[in-house]
Structure 1
Amino acid sequence: MTAINPDAPILVTGGTGYLAGVIIAQLLDAGHTVHATVRDPDKRDRLAALDALAATSPGSIRYFRADLRDPEAFGPAMTGCELVIHTASPFIAHVADPQRDLVDPAVEGTRNVLTAANATESVKRVVLTSSCAAIYGDNADIAAMPERKLTEAVWNTSSSLRHQAYSFSKTLAEKAAWEIAGAQSRWDLVTINPSLILGPGIDPMTSGESYALITQIGDGTMAAGVPDFRIGAVDVRDVAAAHIKAGFTPQAEGRHILSAHNTGFVEMSAVLRDHFGSDYKFGKSILPKFLVWLAGPMINPALTRKMVSRNVGIPFIADNAKSRTALGMTYRPLQATLTEHFQQLIDAGRITSKQ
């Protein structure tokens, strides 16, 4: 059992990221001191949303320059911290060089953060943002799993540099983390394994795959038909809360699936269409799988035919029981997550009606 002193500073890596921003917001709101690593603390425009939160909350924030690939970067930021929350890792659907752009920064970044934890006497616990992608690569994998659902006992064995490279990077990074944690006994490791994270972030101009998906559902990209991708979804605010609970729950251990809803693009489109009506370009019909298979690679290089074959129309089922019992998690309704995320995009002018 590990007890964390709430008065000690808490390190959050990747401070300007989508998830990290919400974690930091919740920590500041609770009165904690946050050490946030960012690429360049001198670019104040990138820190404006965090600065605004700190100005109106009981907590405080300090910024530290750090790059995932720099093995010396995290020591200064970690000084005095008992809890380290490592969120920084690239989440990009399509890259030119998967080894360089996904695997290397994910694995090396994890190794660098945990090596710094080994060298920092104050550290007692590291909470790592992993992913359900470290548990499975394709929906087709789930059918061969015990009880045909994702559990924390399972690891992704189907991804590679050539197929589902992002999932491959998350698998290798989490395995590296457990290897490093197992080689010492001063600090312990807890991982959070979310499915697709959605919901409003602290900055409406945030980029990334989650914002891109919600935009595409409502901007006409899927107006001709919605591909039947089955996915898990979870609110970013719930994932942030889970990281903090994992940090401060003394008996927390191991991996934790964070997935509130077994859903898909079709259901997500329907939820948004029911709420916002016909003012936006939501798709209504389901795009036949053979058309997704045929045209997908030409529309988006990430939609390879193997990826389409092994995912479209195939159920996604995840077991979130451990998060509920071990961390006391409760989850927001899918409607709240989606409508509040979409409304944030409307308010920011990133999505306009078809009128």
Structure 2
Amino acid sequence: MITRVLVTGATGFVAGQVITELLEHGYAVRATVRDLSATGKRAHLAEAAARLGGDLEFAAADLDRETGWEAAVSGCAAVFHVASPFPAAPPDNENELITTAVEGTLRVLRAAAASGSVRRVVLTSSIAAITHGHDVHDVVRTEADWSVVEKSAAYQKSKTLAERAAWDFVAALPAAARFELVAVNPGMILGPVQSATATSTSHEPVRLLLSGGVPGSPRVGWATVDVRDLAVLHRLALETPAAAGQRYVAAGEHVWMRDFGRTLAAEFGPRGYRVPTRVLPDLLVRAIALFDKTIRLTVPTLGIEERLSSEKARRELGWTMRPVRGSLLDTAESLIQHGVVPGPRRAAAPVPARSTSA
């Protein structure tokens, strides 16, 4: 019997890969979109379903509205709640961001509890709910850690409070209505995009470096994960009985933005892309941040290394991650292919054969 599952936020970067992964493994997928008439934004998903011979349908539902969620969840055995707001710049009112994240999550969970069919919900959280607001940074963080809300910025607050609300909601349900909850906490998500519209904020460093949109790299970096590996982890979080009630960090080694630049320059420089490899002084970044809201997001993390362990996911779910270099280059190639990054600004040199080895 084919299992039908719901994936929220269908047109997003992560949700698209989760949908593809599920279709490849024989699941029937219902996916939520805000506007059913905007078929262009989900054309890549319809094409993937046709290619795979998969069962994919769409339902209208919005995190900011109560309507649509019960119908979307109806008949589904599981829910992947992937949709969540992510600001491109610090919000003027952080409460709006937090409210959407928390209330949107609760809307999905209430519908799941009322459905009578949902047995497990896999929640896409973030390491933002783990690593922020701590006074000590030189520590390897795990699923046992939680961000300190009072000392965190708006996005980190929203992810922490939304995940906390999910665990509290499930714990408070009567036994007859209770479903199993699993949280997946990814780091910075690299990997190829499926369309020009299915990009995310995590692509910005790669886009800026390739397009020459920055003169160099701030002293920032990230613990990364490939979106394709993350999609596999979501599926394993559903299929593994022992995953119920667990959190799973999905983040590998920390990589500095300067190393992004050096890798991209070595690979794409011969093709005509002028990728900056210098490191910008902190003082300059702070000065730019006074006028640029996007750069302002990086200031709190200058010089801080994200150190996390994904050992639990490896040990309990048998999950593995591919090398960062290949993920980075695949990201860049897809941004170029889909026109997110313009063509090179100077004539290209002869291109040597590409190697994706680590």
User: By the TM > 0.5 criterion, same fold?
Assistant: yes
Q: Is 1:188 aligned with 2:180?
A: yes
2:116 partner amino acid: E
Partner of 1:49: 44
SS of alignment partner, residue 56 of structure 1: helix
Query: How big is the shift at 1:197?
Result: 0.7
Gap runs ≥5 in structure 2: 347-358
Give TM-score scaled by structure 1 length.
0.90
Match 2:129 to one of 114, 131, 134: 134
Partner of 1:274: 266
Q: Which aligned pairs between 1:273-292 and structure 2 lie closer than 5 A?
A: 273-278=265-270, 279-292=272-285
Query: How big is the shift at 1:139?
Result: 8.0
Aligned partners of 2:50, 2:140: CA distance in 1, in Å? 44
Match 2:335 to one of 333, 336, 345: 345
Aligned partners of 2:159, 2:136: CA distance in 1, in Å? 16
Aligned partners of 1:131, 1:39: CA distance in 2, in Å? 23
Q: Is 1:164 aligned with 2:153?
A: yes
Gap runs ≥5 in structure 1: 1-5
Match 1:96 to one of 77, 92, 98: 92
| Contact 2:8–2:15 (Cα < 8 Å) also in 1 | yes
Alpha-carbon deviations, 1:44-69, whole Å to 9, x = none?
Answer: 11221111111111321111110112
SS of alignment partner, residue 344 of structure 1: helix
Query: How big is the shift at 1:334?
Result: 0.8
| Contact 1:232–1:259 (Cα < 8 Å) also in 2 | yes
Query: How big is the shift at 1:311?
Result: 1.8
SS of alignment partner, residue 15 of structure 2: helix
Partner of 1:335: 325
Q: Is 1:219 aligned with 2:211?
A: yes
SS of alignment partner, residue 251 of structure 1: helix
Aligned partners of 1:159, 1:231: CA distance in 2, in Å? 22
Alpha-carbon deviations, 1:262-285, whole Å to 9, x = none?
Answer: 112111111211222252121111
Partner of 1:178: 167
Taking a change above 3 Å as real, the CA distance of residues 25 and 86 of structure 1, as seen in their structure-2 partners, is: same
Pairs aligned (count)? 339
Partner of 1:123: 118
| Contact 1:233–1:262 (Cα < 8 Å) also in 2 | yes
Aligned partners of 2:113, 2:295: CA distance in 1, in Å? 37
CA RMSD after TM alignment? 1.8
Aligned partners of 1:140, 1:271: CA distance in 2, in Å? 32
Partner of 2:308: 318
Aligned partners of 1:125, 1:331: CA distance in 2, in Å? 24
Match 1:234 to one of 212, 216, 225: 225
Query: How big is the shift at 1:236?
Result: 0.6
Identity of aligned residues (%): 36
Query: How big is the shift at 1:302?
Result: 5.2
1:281 partner amino acid: R
Alpha-carbon deviations, 1:131-175, whole Å to 9, x = none?
Answer: 0000122686533xxxx1111111110556xx5211110011000
Query: How big is the shift at 1:26?
Result: 1.1
Q: Which aligned pairs between 1:102-117 and structure 2 lie closer than 5 A?
A: 102-117=97-112
Partner of 1:17: 12
Match 1:206 to one of 198, 205, 213: 198
Partner of 1:3: none
2:240 partner amino acid: T
